[in-house]
Amino acid sequence: MKILIAYDGSASADTAIDELQRAGLPAENVEALVVSVGEVWLPPPARDEVIEDTFPLQVPPGLKAARERAARVMEEAEQLAERGSKRVQQVFSGWRVSHEARNGSPGFELLNSAREWQADLIVVGSHGRTALGRFVLGSVSQKVLTEASTSVHIGRHNAGTGTSGERIVIGVDGSPGALAAIRAVARRHWTDGSEIRIVVADDVLRGAGVWVLLPPVKEFVDDVRTEEHGQAEQFAIAAAKELREGLGDRNVTVSSVVHTGDPKQVLVHHAEEFGADCIFTGATGFSNRLERVILGSVSAAIAARADCSVEVVRE
């Protein structure tokens, strides 16, 4: 497994690394690459390049100053990448950890690095809360989450329930993306006693205005609601069976529930009540013109609103 970890020295980046301990990742046979990006547009000088020799007196002083600043920024990025790699190595002593510093736009460079290195998973941090107390994604994390062609893990601290095992929520809607999320969870190495909850949101059909009072309309709406609820229950049963078969005889409890409501709200609220360490959800849709996976609105909303870690799975 190859895991690319974005690191900018912030508290959220440190949290993303620490919370990987509860993401079911293997203790060995993992390559981790810690990447820090210096946000400079002018290419920095080469390591053996002497700025004074490169820029004679007739060159504008502003250009020389820009190169000097680029050199300082990249030196800091190199130090941050090294610091992040040491933190990862302390948490996962059995991993093979390396680091690199890149220059440019952080979002673009992280995506380019993941593509060049052929990462299986990208790990990013989430930034702070709004004045309303809701978690929000930073612009870099949002770009990586939306445009990556591989799975993305957004690490957040969660107090959880205090139990030794992990608590995981999987959002299921019967789509291929949901199936990918189930398979990803089944492949992970969960602590004995962990609990995995499959959640299906039954977003029921609602009648509009006075028309719902008409007997034929009301009967139609009720029939659709009954049929959709039955489908949701079947999704939950099938997903739980698939997960149990994937987990084999591991000591992990699997359960499933169907909740009525908007999936964007149901999954976030249920994860909070369940004390989840992480929500797994699939990415949906594909654009031939852009040749990349486009994140579904539900997955994007969950990633932005959840108060625990979120992993959006792409196969």
Taking a C-beta distance cutoff of 8 angstroms, is the pair 33, 107 a contact? no
Q: What is the mean pLDDT of the chain?
A: 82
**Residue bearing tokens 């949101």:** 201
Q: How far apart are CA 270 and CA 157, in angstroms?
A: 17
The pLDDT tens digits for 119-168 are 999 999 987 544 434 444 678 888 899 899 999 999 998 765 556 789 99
CA angle 176, 288, 296 (to 5 degrees): 45
pLDDT tens for each residue of the chain, 315 residues long: 999 999 999 999 999 999 999 999 999 999 999 999 998 876 655 655 555 555 455 556 666 777 778 888 889 999 999 999 999 999 999 999 999 999 988 999 999 999 999 999 999 998 754 443 444 467 888 889 989 999 999 999 876 555 678 999 999 887 888 899 999 999 999 999 999 999 988 765 454 444 455 566 555 555 556 666 667 788 889 899 999 999 999 999 999 988 888 888 889 999 999 999 999 999 874 333 333 344 567 888 888 889 899 999 998
Taking a C-beta distance cutoff of 8 angstroms, is the pair 142, 110 a contact? no
Q: How far apart are CA 286 and CA 266, in angstroms?
A: 25
Q: Which strands form 96-103's sheet, in the order they lie side by side?
A: 96-103, 31-38, 2-6, 121-125, 151-155, 309-313, 278-282, 167-171, 194-202, 252-260
Burial 184-209 (b: 16+ CB within 10 A, else e): bbbebebeeebbbbbbbbbbeeebee
Full set of structural domains in the chain with CATH: 1-157 (3.40.50.620), 158-315 (3.40.50.620)
